[in-house]
Amino acid sequence: MNSASNQILKSGIIALLLGFVLISTLAYAQPIQLSATLASLPKSAEINESGEIKGAFVDLIRNLDRVSNSHTNMVVVPFKRSINNLTNASADYHIPLIKTPGIDVQQLPYAFSTQTLFQVAFVLYTHKDKPLDISQLSNYDIVTDSAHINFFPFPITGTPCLPCAIRKVNAGRIDGFIFAQNEIDPFIHQYDLNNIHRQLYYNFEVKALIPKGKVGRIVDEYLTNAIMKLKKEGVYNKILAPVLAPYNDWQPYLKNKTEG
Protein backbone atom coordinates (compact mmCIF):
# COMPACT_ATOMS: atom_id res chain seq x y z
CA MET A 1 0.00 0.00 0.00
CA ASN A 2 1.52 3.38 -1.05
CA SER A 3 1.72 6.51 1.11
CA ALA A 4 -1.34 8.08 -0.54
CA SER A 5 -3.42 5.03 0.26
CA ASN A 6 -2.13 5.03 3.82
CA GLN A 7 -3.12 8.66 4.21
CA ILE A 8 -6.63 7.99 2.90
CA LEU A 9 -7.02 5.06 5.28
CA LYS A 10 -5.82 7.11 8.25
CA SER A 11 -8.14 9.95 7.32
CA GLY A 12 -11.07 7.57 7.13
CA ILE A 13 -10.33 6.10 10.55
CA ILE A 14 -9.95 9.56 12.09
CA ALA A 15 -13.23 10.66 10.55
CA LEU A 16 -14.99 7.60 11.94
CA LEU A 17 -13.63 8.19 15.43
CA LEU A 18 -14.51 11.87 15.29
CA GLY A 19 -18.03 10.88 14.32
CA PHE A 20 -18.29 8.74 17.44
CA VAL A 21 -16.88 11.52 19.58
CA LEU A 22 -19.35 13.99 18.10
CA ILE A 23 -22.25 11.71 18.96
CA SER A 24 -20.93 11.43 22.50
CA THR A 25 -20.41 15.15 23.01
CA LEU A 26 -23.85 15.95 21.67
CA ALA A 27 -25.22 13.94 24.58
CA TYR A 28 -27.03 11.70 22.12
CA ALA A 29 -29.10 14.50 20.59
CA GLN A 30 -29.30 12.52 17.33
CA PRO A 31 -30.58 8.94 17.14
CA ILE A 32 -27.73 6.46 17.62
CA GLN A 33 -27.52 3.17 15.76
CA LEU A 34 -25.83 0.41 17.74
CA SER A 35 -25.49 -3.34 17.54
CA ALA A 36 -25.43 -5.71 20.50
CA THR A 37 -24.68 -9.40 20.55
CA LEU A 38 -26.25 -11.44 23.37
CA ALA A 39 -25.35 -14.89 24.59
CA SER A 40 -28.29 -17.28 24.41
CA LEU A 41 -29.17 -18.08 28.02
CA PRO A 42 -32.42 -18.98 29.83
CA LYS A 43 -34.22 -15.94 31.27
CA SER A 44 -31.47 -13.65 29.95
CA ALA A 45 -31.70 -13.79 26.16
CA GLU A 46 -33.72 -16.36 24.24
CA ILE A 47 -35.51 -16.81 20.93
CA ASN A 48 -39.12 -17.99 21.29
CA GLU A 49 -41.09 -20.22 18.94
CA SER A 50 -42.18 -17.19 16.90
CA GLY A 51 -38.57 -16.16 16.34
CA GLU A 52 -38.81 -13.18 18.69
CA ILE A 53 -36.05 -12.43 21.17
CA LYS A 54 -36.89 -12.07 24.84
CA GLY A 55 -35.24 -12.01 28.25
CA ALA A 56 -33.82 -9.68 30.87
CA PHE A 57 -30.89 -8.54 28.72
CA VAL A 58 -33.21 -7.84 25.80
CA ASP A 59 -35.41 -5.72 28.07
CA LEU A 60 -32.34 -3.95 29.43
CA ILE A 61 -31.15 -2.94 25.96
CA ARG A 62 -34.60 -1.77 24.93
CA ASN A 63 -34.63 0.48 27.96
CA LEU A 64 -31.11 1.72 27.24
CA ASP A 65 -32.46 2.71 23.82
CA ARG A 66 -35.41 4.45 25.43
CA VAL A 67 -33.38 6.71 27.71
CA SER A 68 -30.58 7.48 25.24
CA ASN A 69 -32.43 8.12 21.98
CA SER A 70 -30.79 5.12 20.37
CA HIS A 71 -31.77 2.05 18.40
CA THR A 72 -29.89 -1.18 18.96
CA ASN A 73 -29.97 -4.13 16.60
CA MET A 74 -29.73 -7.28 18.72
CA VAL A 75 -28.77 -10.84 17.89
CA VAL A 76 -29.02 -13.81 20.23
CA VAL A 77 -26.47 -16.53 19.49
CA PRO A 78 -24.48 -19.20 21.38
CA PHE A 79 -22.14 -17.77 24.00
CA LYS A 80 -18.82 -18.29 22.25
CA ARG A 81 -20.15 -16.97 18.94
CA SER A 82 -21.47 -13.88 20.71
CA ILE A 83 -18.03 -13.05 22.07
CA ASN A 84 -16.56 -13.67 18.61
CA ASN A 85 -19.07 -11.17 17.20
CA LEU A 86 -17.56 -8.55 19.50
CA THR A 87 -13.91 -9.39 18.83
CA ASN A 88 -14.34 -9.47 15.05
CA ALA A 89 -16.07 -6.05 15.11
CA SER A 90 -19.49 -7.38 14.10
CA ALA A 91 -21.08 -5.76 17.17
CA ASP A 92 -20.53 -2.71 19.38
CA TYR A 93 -20.87 -4.67 22.62
CA HIS A 94 -21.60 -8.11 24.03
CA ILE A 95 -23.58 -9.10 27.14
CA PRO A 96 -22.70 -10.84 29.48
CA LEU A 97 -19.31 -11.99 30.75
CA ILE A 98 -17.90 -12.43 34.23
CA LYS A 99 -14.79 -10.54 35.27
CA THR A 100 -12.39 -12.70 37.25
CA PRO A 101 -10.45 -10.95 40.03
CA GLY A 102 -6.78 -10.57 39.10
CA ILE A 103 -7.29 -11.21 35.39
CA ASP A 104 -4.76 -9.47 33.13
CA VAL A 105 -7.12 -7.47 30.92
CA GLN A 106 -4.21 -6.28 28.78
CA GLN A 107 -3.87 -9.79 27.40
CA LEU A 108 -7.53 -10.03 26.38
CA PRO A 109 -8.87 -9.17 22.90
CA TYR A 110 -11.63 -7.04 24.44
CA ALA A 111 -12.28 -4.66 27.33
CA PHE A 112 -14.85 -4.76 30.13
CA SER A 113 -17.47 -2.10 30.69
CA THR A 114 -16.91 0.26 33.60
CA GLN A 115 -20.39 -0.50 34.89
CA THR A 116 -21.00 -3.82 36.63
CA LEU A 117 -24.36 -5.05 35.37
CA PHE A 118 -24.95 -7.26 38.41
CA GLN A 119 -23.33 -10.04 40.43
CA VAL A 120 -23.90 -13.67 39.58
CA ALA A 121 -23.43 -16.77 41.70
CA PHE A 122 -21.44 -19.47 39.92
CA VAL A 123 -22.30 -22.86 41.35
CA LEU A 124 -20.36 -26.11 41.43
CA TYR A 125 -22.77 -28.89 40.46
CA THR A 126 -21.74 -32.42 41.42
CA HIS A 127 -23.38 -35.84 41.81
CA LYS A 128 -24.93 -36.29 45.25
CA ASP A 129 -23.03 -39.55 45.78
CA LYS A 130 -19.68 -38.25 44.57
CA PRO A 131 -18.63 -35.28 46.75
CA LEU A 132 -15.63 -33.23 45.64
CA ASP A 133 -13.03 -31.25 47.57
CA ILE A 134 -13.65 -27.73 46.21
CA SER A 135 -10.08 -26.75 47.13
CA GLN A 136 -8.69 -29.50 44.87
CA LEU A 137 -10.72 -29.12 41.68
CA SER A 138 -7.65 -29.65 39.51
CA ASN A 139 -7.90 -33.33 40.48
CA TYR A 140 -11.33 -33.78 38.89
CA ASP A 141 -13.06 -33.74 35.52
CA ILE A 142 -14.77 -30.33 35.67
CA VAL A 143 -16.73 -28.76 32.82
CA THR A 144 -17.93 -25.22 32.11
CA ASP A 145 -19.31 -23.26 29.17
CA SER A 146 -16.75 -23.19 26.35
CA ALA A 147 -16.52 -19.39 26.45
CA HIS A 148 -15.47 -19.44 30.12
CA ILE A 149 -12.56 -21.88 30.20
CA ASN A 150 -9.99 -19.11 30.69
CA PHE A 151 -11.63 -17.85 33.88
CA PHE A 152 -10.62 -20.70 36.18
CA PRO A 153 -7.25 -21.33 37.88
CA PHE A 154 -7.31 -25.07 37.13
CA PRO A 155 -7.72 -27.24 34.01
CA ILE A 156 -11.35 -27.26 32.90
CA THR A 157 -13.19 -28.60 29.86
CA GLY A 158 -15.48 -26.44 27.73
CA THR A 159 -18.89 -27.43 26.41
CA PRO A 160 -21.32 -25.58 24.12
CA CYS A 161 -24.30 -27.50 25.55
CA LEU A 162 -25.25 -26.44 29.07
CA PRO A 163 -28.22 -28.80 29.53
CA CYS A 164 -26.04 -31.67 28.29
CA ALA A 165 -23.44 -30.92 30.96
CA ILE A 166 -25.85 -30.83 33.89
CA ARG A 167 -27.46 -34.07 32.74
CA LYS A 168 -24.02 -35.69 32.58
CA VAL A 169 -23.43 -34.64 36.21
CA ASN A 170 -26.80 -36.14 37.16
CA ALA A 171 -25.83 -39.42 35.46
CA GLY A 172 -22.38 -39.45 37.10
CA ARG A 173 -20.57 -39.19 33.75
CA ILE A 174 -18.48 -36.16 34.78
CA ASP A 175 -17.26 -35.08 38.20
CA GLY A 176 -18.58 -31.54 38.19
CA PHE A 177 -19.95 -28.59 36.25
CA ILE A 178 -19.52 -24.91 37.09
CA PHE A 179 -21.76 -22.19 35.76
CA ALA A 180 -24.26 -19.48 36.76
CA GLN A 181 -27.13 -20.75 38.90
CA ASN A 182 -29.64 -18.56 37.05
CA GLU A 183 -28.86 -20.37 33.82
CA ILE A 184 -28.50 -23.95 35.09
CA ASP A 185 -31.13 -24.29 37.83
CA PRO A 186 -34.01 -24.05 35.31
CA PHE A 187 -32.60 -27.12 33.54
CA ILE A 188 -32.57 -29.03 36.85
CA HIS A 189 -36.29 -28.32 37.23
CA GLN A 190 -37.08 -28.90 33.56
CA TYR A 191 -35.44 -32.33 33.42
CA ASP A 192 -36.27 -33.29 37.04
CA LEU A 193 -32.63 -34.00 37.90
CA ASN A 194 -32.60 -35.42 41.40
CA ASN A 195 -29.00 -36.59 41.72
CA ILE A 196 -27.46 -33.12 41.83
CA HIS A 197 -25.60 -31.49 44.71
CA ARG A 198 -25.03 -27.73 44.57
CA GLN A 199 -22.53 -25.47 46.32
CA LEU A 200 -21.36 -21.91 45.76
CA TYR A 201 -18.16 -21.59 43.75
CA TYR A 202 -17.86 -17.77 43.53
CA ASN A 203 -19.87 -14.57 43.19
CA PHE A 204 -18.62 -12.88 40.02
CA GLU A 205 -19.16 -9.38 38.68
CA VAL A 206 -20.97 -9.43 35.34
CA LYS A 207 -19.87 -6.90 32.72
CA ALA A 208 -20.56 -5.97 29.12
CA LEU A 209 -17.71 -6.54 26.70
CA ILE A 210 -16.63 -3.61 24.55
CA PRO A 211 -13.92 -3.08 21.93
CA LYS A 212 -10.50 -1.92 23.02
CA GLY A 213 -9.34 1.58 22.17
CA LYS A 214 -11.16 4.85 21.48
CA VAL A 215 -14.32 3.30 20.06
CA GLY A 216 -14.61 1.07 23.12
CA ARG A 217 -14.27 4.04 25.43
CA ILE A 218 -17.09 5.82 23.61
CA VAL A 219 -19.32 2.73 23.83
CA ASP A 220 -18.45 2.47 27.52
CA GLU A 221 -19.47 6.10 28.07
CA TYR A 222 -22.75 5.43 26.28
CA LEU A 223 -23.48 2.38 28.44
CA THR A 224 -22.51 4.17 31.65
CA ASN A 225 -24.73 7.18 30.94
CA ALA A 226 -27.74 5.10 29.91
CA ILE A 227 -27.42 2.69 32.85
CA MET A 228 -27.16 5.57 35.31
CA LYS A 229 -30.35 7.06 33.86
CA LEU A 230 -32.18 3.77 34.40
CA LYS A 231 -30.91 3.58 37.97
CA LYS A 232 -32.00 7.17 38.58
CA GLU A 233 -35.48 6.21 37.33
CA GLY A 234 -35.48 3.34 39.83
CA VAL A 235 -36.20 0.73 37.17
CA TYR A 236 -32.78 -0.87 36.63
CA ASN A 237 -33.15 -3.71 39.16
CA LYS A 238 -36.74 -4.32 38.07
CA ILE A 239 -35.61 -4.84 34.49
CA LEU A 240 -32.93 -7.34 35.53
CA ALA A 241 -35.04 -8.99 38.25
CA PRO A 242 -35.14 -12.39 36.44
CA VAL A 243 -31.34 -12.68 36.74
CA LEU A 244 -30.74 -10.85 40.02
CA ALA A 245 -30.56 -13.63 42.57
CA PRO A 246 -28.09 -14.26 45.40
CA TYR A 247 -26.89 -17.80 45.89
CA ASN A 248 -29.70 -20.05 47.09
CA ASP A 249 -28.49 -23.16 48.91
CA TRP A 250 -31.24 -25.55 47.82
CA GLN A 251 -30.50 -29.18 47.00
CA PRO A 252 -32.22 -31.07 44.16
CA TYR A 253 -31.63 -34.45 45.80
CA LEU A 254 -33.62 -33.56 48.92
CA LYS A 255 -37.28 -34.50 48.86
CA ASN A 256 -38.43 -31.29 50.53
CA LYS A 257 -36.21 -29.04 48.44
CA THR A 258 -36.47 -25.28 48.33
CA GLU A 259 -37.02 -24.06 44.77
CA GLY A 260 -33.95 -22.39 43.28
How confident is the model at residue 13, as a pLDDT? 46
Task: Say if residue 96 is preceded by a cis peptide, omega within 30 of 0.
Answer: yes
Alpha helices by DSSP H, listed for the chain, are 3-25, 56-68, 79-87, 162-170, 181-190, 214-233, 236-239
134 three-class SS: helix
pLDDT in tens, 183-223: 999 999 999 999 999 999 999 999 999 999 999 999 999 99
Q: CA 102, CA 113: separation in Å to the nearest integer? A: 16
Alpha carbon separation from 196 to 105, 120, 147, 193 (Å, rounded): 35, 20, 23, 7
Rg of the chain's alpha carbons, rounded to an integer?
Answer: 21
Q: Give dist(CA 212, CA 54) in Å, integer.
A: 28
Measured CA to CA, the distance from residue 124 to residue 126 in angstroms comes to 6
Model pLDDT for residues 139-185, shown as the tens digit of each residue: 999 999 998 998 899 999 999 999 999 999 999 999 999 999 989 99
**Is the pLDDT reported for residue 259 higher than 80?**
no
pLDDT of residue 29: 54
What are the tens digits of pLDDT across the range 215-239?
999 999 999 999 999 999 999 999 9
CA–CA distance, 18 with 37 (Å, rounded to integer): 24
Q: Please check whether residue 82 is in contact with residue 148, taking contact to mean a CB–CB distance below 8 angstroms.
A: no
